[in-house]
Amino acid sequence: MIRRRQGHIVAISSVQGKISIPFRSAYAASKHATQAFFDCLRAEMEQYEIEVTVISPGHIHTNLSLNAITADGSRYGGEKRRVFLVFTLETGDPGKSWD
């Protein structure tokens, strides 16, 4: 990509890379790190005209809340539920069109 001066790197993260909720500290920390890494990579790749995009889906139907633990290490066991999928999309160009 660098040699050709073109390309597009896409990372799938989570909205928890932007906001955090209780009992998800390790997961949120990993997603914040993912977000920061790709934000830096975006700035570094700009000189090579390589785009970097981070897609951050919101809550989806998974077992994550069932497997979460509380502060004392006990299992949280939150309920499994369906929530509308919401996501953010970040690129280096705020005016970019995704037609």
The answer to whether residue 27 is catalytic is yes
The CA distance from 87 to 72, in Å, is 31
Q: Which long-range contacts (CB under 8 A, 24 or more apart) does 28-37 make?
A: 31/56
The CA distance from 84 to 30, in Å, is 23
The CA distance from 56 to 13, in Å, is 5
CA terminus-to-terminus distance, the chain: 24
Tokens of 23: 């009992």
Catalytic residue among 9, 11, 20, 27: 27
The residues annotated as belonging to the active site are 27
